[in-house]
C-alpha cells in the first residue's frame, strides 16, 4: 500500500512496513544517527488537523496503537514503537504572534519561534538548541533559556488544541478541559492525545543579555564545583548558570588529544547593560581565576547567538544517547565523581551538564502542571560519537556515568531520561501525586489505550 493517500488528499502520505520508502521514513523520525530497533506498522506524515483526525480514525479501525512525533529530538528515540501507527506532525509549522501570546503548531522549531518573537520584542524559554520543536519541549516540561526566572516552558502554556483518542478535536485551557491542559504541561512522551496547536504566554525580550564564562582543567573540578555552589546562591534568578564537563576546543591540532575541561557559564537576561553587569558581579572575582584556560567577562550575547554555543555542545549528525537526574545535593557533592568518568569517556564529544532547577516569576503563581522538578539541580549526561562500531563502549560509558550519581538522585527529567532503561523510570520522573493523576486522566481520556504510554524496556 506504499504511497497510499488518506481521503485522496495528496498532503497526507501513509507508508507501511515493507513499503520501499518505509526504512527512510523510520530513520527520519529521530535527529541522532541511532534509530531504535522499533518498527511501527504504519507511519503517517500529516499536513493538517483533518489529517490527524483521519489518521486516528484509521488507527482505531485497524486496532493500531498510536505514537506521535514532531521534531524528533527525543534522545532516547521515544516516538517509534513496535507495531501500531506513528503520526508525524513535523510538517505542521504555522505560527502567529500577538501581543503577549503566540499560537504555534507542533513542528515549529525554537529557532523559528525565536526569530518571530524577536521581531516583536518578545521571548519565550525556548530550548537551548534551535532545532528542537516546541511540541516536545513543552510536553516534556522544557528546561529552556532563562528558566530560573521565566520558569519551564510548560509553565507558559496557556491553551492547546488536541485530537483525542476518539478522533475529536478539543480545546483545553484553564476554563475548558483544564485537566488535559495540566497533563500537557510536562506529561512527556506518554501524553494521551495528539496536540495540534499550542498557545504560549510570552515574555518581554530582555534588551541586555550578557555572558561570563570560565574554562578550567577538569582536574580543578572540586574547587570549581564548590565555587559554583557559592555563585548559584549569590546570583539573581535572571542569571542562567551551568557547569559543563566536556572537551576543550583547539585552535590548532598539535597531534595530542584535547584536554577535558570544566566550563562555568553564566548568562544574565537583564533590562539594561548596567543591570546585567551587576547581576554577573559575583563571578568577576574568582579566587583561582589564574588557573583558567579561558576567561570571558561580561560579553554581550544576543538571544539568537545563544543557540550557537549550544549547537556546538550538542552537534547534529551524531550517534547519541542521554540520561538525566535530579539531585538535591550541591554540585560539590556530585560532580567530582562524575568527572572521573568524563576523564575516561571513549568519545571526546560526550558531555555532562549541570544546572539549577527552573523557577518562575516571583510575583506570579506557578501554574498547575504535571512537570515535576524533583531536585535543586538537573544533571544531564550526553554520550555522542560518530563510529557505529563504538556504540557499545559509548552507551556503557553513559550508564556507568549516570550510575556514579544515582545514589544522590531524587528522580529523572522525563524529557531526557532513558525511560526504557527500567520500568520505573517514567514513574520516577514525576511526584507520586502527579503520576497517579496522569494515570487517572489516561483512563478517562483514552480508556481503550489508543495512544502509546511511556517507553518500556
pTM: 0.93
Lowest-confidence region among 43-47, 78-82, 208-212, 420-424:
78-82
Can you tell me the distance from the alpha carbon of 457 to that of 15, in angstroms, rounded to the nearest whole number?
26
d(CA 11, CA 403): 46
Q: Which residues contact 450 (CB under 8 A, 6 or more apart)?
A: 56, 59, 60, 65, 66, 165, 192
Q: Where exactly does CATH 3.30.465.10 map onto the chain?
A: 95-204
Question: What does the alpha-carbon distance between residue 134 and residue 111 come to, in Å, rounded to a whole number?
Answer: 10
pLDDT for 321 equals 94
Distances (CA, A) of 124 to 89, 120, 227, 370, 406: 22, 12, 30, 20, 32
Q: Where in the chain is the domain with CATH 3.30.43.10?
A: 4-88
Span 341-350, mean pLDDT?
95
- The predicted model gives 381-391 an average pLDDT of 96
CA pair distance 175, 173, nearest whole angstrom: 5
What b/e sequence results for 436-449 when a residue is b if at least 16 CB atoms lie within 10 Å of its CB, and e otherwise? ebbeebbeebbeee
**Record: fold of 95-204:** 3.30.465
CA distances from 10 to 45, 258, 350, 457 (A): 11, 51, 42, 37
Q: Taking 80 as the threshold, does the pLDDT of residue 252 lie above it?
A: no
Residue 402: CB atoms within 10 Å: 23
Q: Are 418 and 428 in contact (CB under 8 A)?
A: no
Predicted confidence at residue 311, as pLDDT, reads 83
Note the pLDDT tens digit of each residue in 33-57. 888 889 999 999 999 999 999 999 9
pLDDT per position as a tens digit, 153-164: 999 999 999 999
pLDDT in tens, 217-250: 999 999 999 999 999 999 999 999 999 999 987 6
Name the segment(s) of the chain with CATH classification 3.40.462.20.
208-421
pLDDT above 70 (res 422): yes
Report the pLDDT value the prediction gives residue 407, as an integer from 0 to 100.
94
Could you tell me which residues are beta bridge partners of residue 41?
Answer: none
Helix (DSSP H) and strand (DSSP E) numbers for the chain? 12, 20
Gap between the terminal Cα atoms of the chain: 31
Confidence of residue 1 (pLDDT cuts 50, 70, 90): very low
So what's the pLDDT on residue 361?
61
Which residue would you say has higher pLDDT here, 35 or 411?
A: 411
Give the distance, in angstroms, between the CA of residue 116 and the centroid of all CA atoms in the same chain: 20
Tell me, what's the pLDDT at 9? 53
Contact 201, 388 (CB under 8 A): no
For domain 4-88, give the CATH number: 3.30.43.10
Looking at residues 199-223, what average pLDDT do you find?
A: 97
The residue assigned the cell 512527556 is 188
DSSP string, 37-81: S---SEEEE--SHHHHHHHHHHHHHHT--EEEESS---TT--S--
Q: What is the per-residue pLDDT for 34?
A: 87
State the pLDDT at residue 359: 77
What pLDDT is recorded for position 360? 64
Fold of the CATH domain 208-421: Vanillyl-alcohol Oxidase; Chain A, domain 3 (3.40.462)
When mean pLDDT is compared over 7-21, 75-89, 231-245, the highest value belongs to 231-245
pLDDT score recorded for residue 7: 46
Amino acid at each position: 500500500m506504499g504511497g497510499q493517500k488518506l481521503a485522496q488528499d495528496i498532503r497526507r502520505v501513509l507508508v507501511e512496513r515493507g513499503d520501499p520508502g518505509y526504512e527512510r521514513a523510520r530513520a527520519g523520525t529521530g535527529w541522532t544517527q541511532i534509530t531504535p530497533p522499533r518498527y511501527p506498522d504504519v507511519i503517517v506524515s500529516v499536513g493538517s488537523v483533518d489529517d490527524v483526525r483521519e489518521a486516528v480514525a484509521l488507527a482505531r479501525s485497524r486496532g493500531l496503537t498510536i505514537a506521535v512525533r514532531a521534531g524528533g529530538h527525543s534522545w532516547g528515540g521515544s516516538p517509534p514503537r513496535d507495531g501500531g501507527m506513528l503520526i508525524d506532525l513535523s510538517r505542521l509549522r504555522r505560527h502567529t504572534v500577538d501581543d503577549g501570546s503566540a499560537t504555534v503548531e507542533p513542528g515549529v522549531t525554537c529557532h523559528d519561534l525565536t526569530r518571530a518573537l524577536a521581531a516583536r520584542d518578545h521571548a519565550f524559554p525556548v530550548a537551548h538548541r534551535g532545532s528542537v520543536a516546541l511540541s516536545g519541549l513543552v510536553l516534556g516540561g522544557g528546561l529552556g533559556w532563562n528558566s530560573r526566572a521565566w520558569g519551564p516552558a510548560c509553565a507558559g502554556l496557556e491553551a492547546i488544541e488536541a485530537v483525542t483518542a476518539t478522533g475529536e478535536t478539543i480545546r483545553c485551557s484553564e476554563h475548558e478541559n483544564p485537566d488535559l491542559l495540566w497533563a500537557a504541561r510536562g506529561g512527556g512522551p506518554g501524553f494521551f492525545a495528539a496536540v495540534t496547536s499550542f498557545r504560549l504566554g510570552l515574555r518581554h525580550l530582555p534588551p541586555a543579555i550578557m555572558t561570563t564564562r570560565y574554562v578550567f582543567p577538569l582536574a580543578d573540578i572540586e574547587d570549581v564545583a564548590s565555587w559554583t555552589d557559592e555563585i548559584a546562591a549569590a546570583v539573581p534568578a535572571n542569571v542562567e548558570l551551568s557547569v559543563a564537563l566536556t572537551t576543550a576546543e583547539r585552535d590548532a591540532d598539535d597531534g595530542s588529544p584535547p584536554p577535558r575541561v570544566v566550563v562555568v557559564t553564566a548568562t544574565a537576561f537583564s533590562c539594561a547593560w548596567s543591570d546585567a553587569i551587576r547581576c554577573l558581579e559575583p563571578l568577576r572575582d574568582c579566587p583561582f581565576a589564574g588557573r583558567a584556560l579561558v576567561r570571558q567577562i561580561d560579553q554581550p550575547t544576543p538571544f539568537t547567538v545563544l543557540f550557537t554555543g549550544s549547537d556546538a555542545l550538542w552537534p547534529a549528525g551524531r550517534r547519541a544517547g542521554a540520561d538525566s537526574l535530579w539531585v538535591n545535593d550541591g554540585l560539590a557533592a556530585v560532580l567530582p565523581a562524575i568527572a572521573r568518568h568524563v576523564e575516561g569517556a571513549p568519545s571526546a564529544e560526550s558531555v555532562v551538564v549541570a544546572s539549577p532547577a527552573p523557577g518562575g516569576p516571583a510575583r506570579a503563581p506557578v501554574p498547575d502542571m504535571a512537570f515535576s522538578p524533583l531536585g535543586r539541580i538537573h544533571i544531564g549526561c550526553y554520550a555522542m560519537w560518530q563510529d557505529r562500531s563504538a556504540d557499545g563502549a559509548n552507551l556503557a560509558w553513559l550508564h556507568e556515568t549516570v550510575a556514579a550519581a544515582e545514589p544522590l538522585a531524587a528522580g529523572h527529567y522525563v524529557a531526557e531520561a532513558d525511560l526504557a532503561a527500567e520500568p520505573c523510570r517514567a514513574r520516577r520522573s514525576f511526584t507520586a501525586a502527579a503520576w497517579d493523576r496522569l494515570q487517572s486522566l489516561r483512563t478517562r481520556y483514552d480508556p481503550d489505550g489508543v495512544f502509546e504510554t511511556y517507553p518500556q524496556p
